Structure 1
Amino acid sequence: MADRRTTTLFLTIVLGSALGAAACGDSDGGSDKVKIGLITKTDTNPFFVKMKEGAQKAADAAGVELMTAAGKNDGDNASQVTAVENMVAAGVKGIMITPSDTKAIVPTIQKARAKGVLVIALDTPTEPQDATDALFATDNLKAGVLIGQYAKGAMAGRTPKIATLDLAPGITVGVLRHNGFLQGMGLKDGDPSIVCSQDTLGDQAKGQTAMENCLTKAPDINLVYTINEPSAFGAYTALKAKGREKDVMIVSVDGGCAGVRGVQSGQIAATSQQYPLKMAEQGVQAVVKFAKDGTKATGYTDTGVTLVTDKPMPGQDTKDTAFGLANCWG
């Protein structure tokens, strides 16, 4: 009996070890497979959903493994810190990140880079921008300028009463778009034509609440700038409830398919379209090149922005919603 028990125990250990080894091989796709990380602000915003799809497609094409993570909401730095640490521990060659808190994430990024990990910011630059090896992004200042110029032309002959529905304090992408819009309008912060400013975190429900608050504060608002299209739709809902949707113009940034359809239907007058698929694809390709020959991506790569509207202003380069729908995401 003792001999049979010993033999059975030995076979169990051997079989268990073999199964364990097989399971480990399946989980990481092979120990020699290059790993790349993608960390987005959230996994619910259509912009970041499309970015993840683009990264996965590029990773599959290159034969590399993509690890993904996201914050619980826009502004959730703690989850992004944990994700960077976990990915570094898992042995990624590079990490692509859309930083939620552009300053607070920097020490964590520095630690990753010190361990030889290539770090690329997508969509949103860190502060300072050179805290990452490279940036693949929309020129967010230009995106704001384009819709500001459009609004200025469309408001000709009218005194603007502006509500700005922004992102959150200190988040670079929000600051750049806000400042660009004002630049395009020929205004500065503090101008009396800006009658209300509210933060939305880029969320539709918060955009609606912000617009309701602004209408209470300044019922004569006739122009609304929104950080993105979800907040634009929230603003439109609030305006419609007050019967103001026809006489208040909304301009925005993003160029998602829902947003372009909003331009087509007249809910949004114009939007600056950006291209998250391109950001993600180029980011993956850069990490793959780094893994192959050590070449590091550096500096800023502009992934493009286009003003989309069906009611163009004279002298401004625009595309219509047919182009927008052909190039949208979400």
Structure 2
Amino acid sequence: MKQFSRPGLAVVAAAASLSIALTGCTESRTVESAPVGADGGPVKIGLVTKTETNPYFVKLREEATAAAEANGNELIALSGKFDGDNDGQIAAVENLVQQGVSGILITPSNATGILDAIEKAEAAGIVVIALDTETDPADVVSATYATDNTEAGRLLGAYIKARLGDTQPQILTMDLDPSASVGVQRRTGFLEGMGVPEDSPDILGSAITQGDQTKAQQGAENLLQRVGEQVNVVYNINEPAARGSYQALKDRNLTDRVLVGAIDGSCEGVQDVADGEFAATVMQFPKEMAVQGVAAVETYAATGEKPSGFIDTGAMLITDDPVDGMESQDTAWGAENCWG
């Protein structure tokens, strides 16, 4: 796998196509050729997600479990209690070290708060790989398999800008917790795609949502009380936040004049685009993160070879209102490739 460099749209589309081929190769391996763990038995692979119930992480867990079991290996899945539960993730990593795993796949809730636990795991001879979310610094883990979140945000921003045409943007942003690198990267990319600096007066207001629908609706309602009908764009960190902000707009009869955009690519989010509630979403591919991460741990167990760097697992703009010059797929394609 080639090391990461920021792709253009054509490369992003190619990455999605490549994902299908890579997945097929991984699933074709047999138990007879499977690597073994240090004790001569199946390889134990740990997975630590941000939460247990979020559909995105449920998909990640299901695909990682299937990939491990296809080769006769074992996946042990743990998680934080909520998005941002750094202490819960630290405890999960320590638990997996005690269970003698060969590798740990982790979606860090806090880019810096989990570093000590990761370093201790690596010092114990365990390869640690980030999925979905980078650590800070990124090289604390051996490798990261993830969406380029800055690029995903840029895709959404460039699309919304094209849809606005000559109309001046008046933006509300529904953001993640400021400590979460995913939220910072997506927002930064979105504003870059829009051509709007962080200190621009075109940003009418922002709310911290933690990616939660209810918090996003409350935040949007509070902002709309102040800015009223000025708004014409609402950026959302994810699709649950977008559903919350859309409901706040609907309650004020503003949905016809506001473009709502999100990042995720869940089946529910794709349907929201099909229903005309979202202008677009940017699809991620959690299956690729899981399958490639599991394969990397299996390789490490068999050969001692660690993966390295950032491996981009692709992103695709999903909309039924394409614009010239931008690669995108419609919601029919989205429904066939979505998760959750």
Q: Could you tell me the TM-score, scaled by structure 2's length?
A: 0.87
* CA contact 1:62–1:288 (8 Å) conserved in 2: no
Describe how 1:136-151 pairs up with structure 2 within 5 A.
Answer: 136-151=145-160
- The one of 204, 213, 217 aligned to 1:204: 213
- The one of 107, 111, 124 aligned to 1:98: 107
* Counterpart for residue 247 of structure 2: 237
**In 2, distance between residues paired with 1:200 and 1:62?**
40
- The one of 309, 314, 317 aligned to 2:324: 314
Aligned length: 301
**In 1, distance between residues paired with 2:173 and 2:249?**
14
Q: Tell me the CA shift for residue 246 of structure 1.
A: 1.5
**In 2, distance between residues paired with 1:247 and 1:31?**
62
Q: Tell me the CA shift for residue 235 of structure 1.
A: 0.8
**In 2, distance between residues paired with 1:267 and 1:160?**
19
RMSD: 1.0
* Counterpart for residue 263 of structure 1: 273
Residue aligned with 1:39, SS: strand
**In 2, distance between residues paired with 1:237 and 1:200?**
14
Residue aligned with 2:216, SS: helix
* Counterpart for residue 302 of structure 2: 292
Describe how 1:91-240 pairs up with structure 2 within 5 A.
Answer: 91-219=100-228, 220-240=230-250
Amino acid in the other structure paired with 1:89: Q
Describe how 1:243-282 pairs up with structure 2 within 5 A.
Answer: 243-282=253-292
Percent identical across equivalent pairs?
A: 50
Amino acid in the other structure paired with 1:246: D
CA deviations 1:246-300 (Å, max 9, x no partner) are 2111011010000000000011001110000110111001101111111111111
Residue aligned with 1:312, SS: coil
**In 2, distance between residues paired with 1:288 and 1:198?**
42
* CA contact 1:196–1:217 (8 Å) conserved in 2: no
Higher mean alpha-carbon deviation, 120-129 vs 58-67, is at 58-67
Structure 1: runs of 5+ lacking an equivalent: 1-29
Q: Could you tell me the TM-score, scaled by structure 1's length?
A: 0.90
Amino acid in the other structure paired with 2:244: G
**In 1, distance between residues paired with 2:303 and 2:143?**
17
Residue aligned with 2:201, SS: coil
Q: Tell me the CA shift for residue 44 of structure 1.
A: 1.5
- The one of 41, 52, 69 aligned to 1:43: 52
**In 1, distance between residues paired with 2:310 and 2:183?**
18
1:31/1:289 CA distance change after superposition, 3 Å: closer
Q: Tell me the CA shift for residue 314 of structure 1.
A: 1.3
Greater RCO structure (CA 8 Å; 6+ sep) = 2
Amino acid in the other structure paired with 1:278: E
Q: Tell me the CA shift for residue 170 of structure 1.
A: 2.2
**In 2, distance between residues paired with 1:72 and 1:243?**
36
Moved over 4 A (4+): none
Q: Tell me the CA shift for residue 31 of structure 1.
A: 7.6
Structure 2: runs of 5+ lacking an equivalent: 1-38
Matching of residue 303 in structure 1 with residue 320 in structure 2: no
Q: Tell me the CA shift for residue 94 of structure 1.
A: 0.3
Residue aligned with 1:141, SS: helix
Q: Which has the larger radius of gyration?
A: 1
**In 2, distance between residues paired with 1:292 and 1:31?**
11
**In 2, distance between residues paired with 1:45 and 1:136?**
19
